[in-house]
């Protein structure tokens, strides 16, 4: 789920560190230019509602972002997911089988990749507090690797719509800034019955360097970490012909043979194997029979617990602020199982 983060000269937001802020300008010539800009900021009559306390911040000589922004983002993300507690059901023209636990199905490495385009309107309520919404649309591709009772690799592609909201706080720590960003999104894949809730927490520490000749133009860079947690249970349905990859249907005799080899290898006198046989007879054997007869029109229902393999990963990013209205940003996920790339443009204005 995907979201974007807002960093618009955040180290300027609070007036608690004026000496540290000015200390980064070592040259007297640069300092004099900066003081001239600061003096002009102190003369600003800020008659706008947001951010609250904006006038006080300007009086201290600190520049702050325009309160309202519209950000357009493109994001790509890839990460391993853990699947557990799988239940399967089957609906055909002649019968309907309810969801049945099949915990003896074993998974290998399962990878999800997604790309999304979203729009994020935001508002600085206070000079250090930003709230925003997220509205997007994208595509998801999940590769599922089953190792037992048969070896099977399949993939599911589907579109995803996203809606959510978030809040971010930012403050200065000497010559650098720090931000804490949390958001909650609801992501609705087309094949699931219900939207999946994803919670993201981001912590970043960065530095902003201002251009000497244009104090409202700057370049920021940061490092940090991002955590993602998704709601565990997902439910949905898919046609059998779409659930299994084309090569299964083209070599269905081999697929069916592998299943019966596993089935015949179970010992009915062993309590564990006997339980597997009972569940297999209830749901897996009817599915295998449909594959053997090349009937892929049945509906397979499923329920499972799904979670990202690693909650945290490191991120690095940078932003170029052309002026107080226009900013360009990119960020990449590194170190950890999750890989991500973000590119965005942000347009800000007075309310």
3-state secondary structure 117-158: EEEEEEEEEECCEEEEEEEEEEEEEEEEEEEECCCEEEEEEE
* Alpha-carbon gap, residue 118 to 4, rounded angstroms: 9
CA distances from 15 to 204, 208, 216, 244 (A): 20, 16, 17, 60
The distance of Cα 278 from the centroid of its chain, to the nearest Å, equals 39
Please list, in sequence order, all residues whose beta carbon lies within 8 angstroms of the beta carbon of residue 41, skipping any fewer than 6 positions away.
58, 61, 62, 63
Number of domains forming the structure of the chain: 1
Please determine, for residue 33, whether its predicted confidence score (pLDDT) is greater than 60.
no
Q: 119 lies in which domain range?
A: 10-236+305-349
Conformational region of residue 9, where left means phi above 0, alpha means psi within -120 to 50, and beta covers everything else:
left
pLDDT in tens, 201-235: 999 999 989 887 887 889 999 999 999 888 778 88
The answer to whether residue 332 sits within a structural domain is yes
The pLDDT value recorded for residue 35 is 67
Please determine, for residue 95, whether its predicted confidence score (pLDDT) is greater than 60.
yes
The answer to whether residue 117 sits within a structural domain is yes
Please report, to the nearest 10 degrees, the dihedral formed by the alpha carbons of residues 127, 128, 133, 139 taken in order.
130
| Cα end-to-end distance, the chain, whole Å | 29
Please determine, for residue 259, whether its predicted confidence score (pLDDT) is greater than 90.
yes
Please determine, for residue 23, whether its predicted confidence score (pLDDT) is greater than 60.
no
User: Tokens 């709601």, residue?
Assistant: 231
User: Do residues 291 and 248 make contact, with C-beta atoms less than 8 angstroms apart?
Assistant: yes
The distance of Cα 242 from the centroid of its chain, to the nearest Å, equals 26
> What tokens does 157 get?
């592609």
pLDDT in tens, 135-186: 999 999 989 999 999 988 888 888 999 999 999 998 887 678 999 999 999 9
For residue 2, name the pLDDT band (cuts at 50, 70, 90). very low
CA distances from 346 to 66, 129, 185, 328, 329 (A): 11, 17, 20, 6, 8
The answer to whether residue 61 sits within a structural domain is yes
The answer to whether residue 272 sits within a structural domain is no
The answer to whether residue 280 sits within a structural domain is no
Please determine, for residue 263, whether its predicted confidence score (pLDDT) is greater than 70.
yes
DSSP three-state, residue 307: strand
The answer to whether residue 326 sits within a structural domain is yes
What number of other Cβ atoms are within 10 A of residue 34's Cβ? 19
Query: What is the DSSP code (8-state) at residue 195?
Result: P
The pLDDT value recorded for residue 160 is 92
Specify the CATH number for the domain of residue 170: 2.40.128
Gyration radius from the chain CA atoms: 27
For residue 34, name the pLDDT band (cuts at 50, 70, 90). low
The answer to whether residue 35 sits within a structural domain is yes
């Amino acid at each position: 789920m995907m979201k974007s983060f807002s960093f618009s000269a955040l180290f300027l937001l609070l007036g608690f560190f004026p000496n540290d802020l000015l200390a980064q300008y070592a040259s007297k010539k640069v300092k004099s230019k900066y003081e001239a800009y600061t003096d002009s900021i102190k003369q600003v009559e800020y008659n706008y509602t947001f951010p609250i306390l904006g006038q006080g911040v300007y009086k201290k000589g600190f520049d702050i972002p325009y309160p309202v922004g519209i950000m357009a983002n493109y994001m790509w993300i890839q990460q391993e997911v853990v699947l557990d507690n799988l239940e399967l059901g089957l609906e055909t023209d002649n019968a309907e089988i309810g969801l049945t636990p099949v915990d003896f199905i074993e998974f290998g490495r399962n990878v999800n990749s997604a790309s999304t385009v979203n729009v994020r309107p935001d508002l600085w309520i206070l000079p250090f507090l930003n709230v925003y919404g997220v509205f997007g649309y994208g595509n998801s591709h999940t590769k599922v690797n089953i190792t037992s009772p048969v070896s099977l690799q399949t993939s599911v592609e589907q579109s995803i719509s996203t809606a959510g909201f978030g809040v971010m706080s930012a403050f200065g720590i000497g010559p650098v800034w720090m931000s804490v960003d949390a958001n909650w999104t609801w992501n609705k894949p087309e094949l699931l019955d219900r939207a999946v809730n994803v919670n993201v927490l981001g912590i970043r520490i960065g530095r902003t360097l201002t251009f000497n000749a244009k104090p409202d133009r700057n370049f920021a860079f940061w490092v940090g970490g991002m955590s993602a947690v998704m709601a565990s249970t997902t439910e949905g349905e898919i046609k059998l012909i779409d659930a299994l990859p084309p090569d299964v249907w083209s070599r269905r005799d081999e697929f069916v043979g592998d299943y019966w080899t596993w089935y015949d290898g179970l010992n009915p006198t062993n309590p564990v194997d006997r339980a597997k046989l009972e569940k297999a007879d209830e749901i897996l054997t009817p599915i295998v029979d449909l594959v053997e007869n090349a009937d892929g029109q049945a509906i397979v229902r499923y329920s499972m617990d799904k979670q990202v393999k690693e909650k945290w990963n490191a991120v690095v990013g940078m932003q170029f602020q052309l002026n107080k209205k226009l900013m360009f940003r990119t960020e990449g996920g590194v170190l950890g199982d999750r890989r991500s790339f973000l590119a965005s443009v942000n347009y800000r204005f007075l309310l």
